[in-house]
Amino acid sequence: MKRPYESPTISRHQGGITNKFGVGVSNRFQSEIEGFPISKLLQEYGTPLFVYSEKTLKKTYREMLDAFSLRYPKTRHAWSYKTNYLKAVCRSFHRLGSWAEVVSGMEYEMARANGVDPRFIVFNGPYKPYPVLKRALEDGAIVNLDSLDEYFEAEEIASQLRHPVKIGLRLNMSLGTHMSWDRYGFNIESGEALAAVKRILAGRKIRIEGIHAHIGTFVYDVQNYSTAITKLAEFATALKRDFGISLKYIDIGGGFASRNRLRGTYLSTADMIPSFDTYAEAICKPLLDGLTSVFHPEELPTLILESGRRMVDEAGMLISTVSSTKRMNSGTRGLVIDAGVNLLFTSFWYDHDVLPTSDHGYSNEDHVIFGPLCMQIDVIRPTVHLPHLEKGDSVIIKPAGAYNNTQWMQFINLRPNVVMISENGKVGLIRRAEDVAYLQERETIPEWLNG
Ligand SMILES: Cc1ncc(COP(=O)(O)O)c(C=O)c1O
């Protein structure tokens, strides 16, 4: 067979010495996950392949809960469905004790189907169609209202049900340190939030049970959390003092950064990402300080956390195989792999770690990694230092557990198998690879196109 032409370039490789930045040349690779050879996983389940580690997921959950409940014992975690709604992932969290956090009718039904008691489903988001809102309120879910329009509908639902319904209010606030998210909920500083409370009390059909704020995502400056929780505690205190409302929960949302590398950041991720203890200290201390002047210890509200990406990112990995290599005009070497932005949506904003799955020595050079789509934007890593991989070699891309298995798409290619490795070393298929029949199952041909 005639081999494809690849124009020659000369690049010097030296192993075992430091480069001009003083950094040792490394030979990084990962050939197994939880003791399972990656080559075997690929043989059995095909390529590309998503792999989840139950062990990592549980360890992360325990670290989070230990850090928070040590400082504020009444802490609960609500699993953010949008981050990953694979059943096996959701159920793993629920089995550990997580409630559910949903932002749509679809996610609400998923949580119900996963067996979550509606009283432990937190329903957020700016769009709750009337029937969906009605079902959630009737079920007794924890519904955090986003706007007055939603409130008026909730009031109408309470009239129909002939009993008061309970709600929470989503709040937003100025954080001082970065551009605050103000598109969700009611603003504290402008007086909008307090005005909403007064209107709700005057209506007498709705009981306010909690307040909620989700200040952003991948927030690694913990000062933002201290500011937010201080303002929420002040608000809760004012509700109790001025209106006799004793809140049942304060929900600080999600947003903790995962150990991934945001594009454009200078320092390495490990140096920047706060530990759970650091987040917990930033949140729990101001919360207790703020509440204990008016709340007795036994009536302190539950602190709800909705951390998504930090809880699952590291537990998920994507394995992909090189389908071709090329030499770009710039001299950089290019790899085309079988997983692109269709599967790894987060590669638009992260520089994921990409490692060969076998030892290829120390001779690294700069590469660009392309996905398989016939689209210019399908780039997994614009530059990454890798050894000389060839067609058929595979790489592991991580962390990949957050937002990819919800935002992925069957664009040009179908979605592959997803497996989970259990804590005691079993591999289970948790989502079967799609086929064309699955994709077209819902399509119909109008009668004029038949025949
Ligand atoms: C209301 C709410 N809660 C929780 C989350 C989870 O956020 P993260 O994955 O950043 O922790 C989100 C994500 O956008 C959200 O909108």
Output the six-digit token pair for 406. 């919800």
- Assigned domain for 26 exists: no
Look at residue 14 in the predicted model and tell me its pLDDT: 54
State the residue range of the domain holding 280.
125-305
Are the C-beta atoms of residues 29 and 358 closer than 8 Å to each other? yes
CATH number, domain at 425?
A: 2.40.37.10
C-alpha 144 chain-centroid distance: 20
- Assigned domain for 322 exists: yes
- Assigned domain for 94 exists: no
Residue range 99-157, pLDDT digits in tens:
999 999 999 999 999 999 999 999 999 999 999 999 999 999 999 999 999 999 999 99
Give yes or no for residue 168 CB within 6 A of ligand 1: no
Q: Residue 20's pLDDT band (boundaries 50, 70, 90)? A: low
Report the C-alpha gap between 289 and 74 in whole angstroms: 15
Query: Which atom of ligand 1 sits closest to the CA of residue 306?
Result: 4
Look at residue 11 in the predicted model and tell me its pLDDT: 57
Query: Which atom of ligand 1 sits closest to the CA of residue 307?
Result: 11
Query: Which atom of ligand 1 sits closest to the CA of residue 216?
Result: 10
CATH number, domain at 222?
A: 3.20.20.10
- Assigned domain for 403 exists: yes
294 and 320 share one domain: no
- Assigned domain for 116 exists: no
273 and 364 share one domain: no
Q: Residue 5's pLDDT band (boundaries 50, 70, 90)? A: confident
Give yes or no for residue 306 CB within 6 A of ligand 1: yes
Query: Which atom of ligand 1 sits closest to the CA of residue 256?
Result: 11
Helix, strand and coil in the chain, % to nearest 5: 35, 25, 45
336 and 293 share one domain: no
176 and 288 share one domain: yes
Give yes or no for residue 254 CB within 6 A of ligand 1: yes
- Specify the DSSP element, H or E, that contains 380: strand 379-386
170 and 283 share one domain: yes
Task: For 181-198, give one letter per residue: b (16+ CB within 10 A) or e.
Answer: beebbbbbeeeebbebbe
339 and 427 share one domain: yes
138 and 261 share one domain: yes
Give yes or no for residue 112 CB within 6 A of ligand 1: no
How much is the average pLDDT of 228-255?
A: 98
SS3 354: strand
Q: What is the DSSP letter of 355?
A: E
| Cα 7 to middle of ligand 1, angstroms | 47
Last residue of a domain, one of 305, 324, 354: 305
178 and 153 share one domain: yes
Q: Look at ligand 1, atom 12, and give the residue with the nearest C-alpha.
A: 254
Give yes or no for residue 214 CB within 6 A of ligand 1: yes
Would the pLDDT of 4 be above 80? Answer: no
SS3 228: helix
Query: What does the DSSP assignment read for 48-117?
Result: SEEEEEHHHHHHHHHHHHHHHHHH-SSEEEEEEGGG---HHHHHHHHHHT-EEEESSHHHHHHHHHTT--
Give yes or no for residue 393 CB within 6 A of ligand 1: no
Last residue of a domain, one of 305, 336, 354: 305
Share of the chain above pLDDT 70, in %: 95
182 and 231 share one domain: yes
Q: Look at ligand 1, atom 10, and give the residue with the nearest C-alpha.
A: 255
Number of domains in the chain: 2
231 and 329 share one domain: no
Give yes or no for residue 346 CB within 6 A of ligand 1: no
- Assigned domain for 2 exists: no
- Assigned domain for 409 exists: yes
Report the C-alpha gap between 152 and 202 in whole angstroms: 13
Amino acid identity at 277: D
297 and 327 share one domain: no
- Give 149: exposed, middle or buried? Use CB within 10 Å, 0-12, 13-18, 19+: exposed
Tell me the chain's radius of gyration from C-alpha atoms. 25
Query: Which atom of ligand 1 sits closest to the CA of residue 255?
Result: 10
Would the pLDDT of 375 be above 90? Answer: yes
430 and 346 share one domain: yes
Report the C-alpha gap between 297 and 292 in whole angstroms: 7
How much is the average pLDDT of 61-82?
A: 98
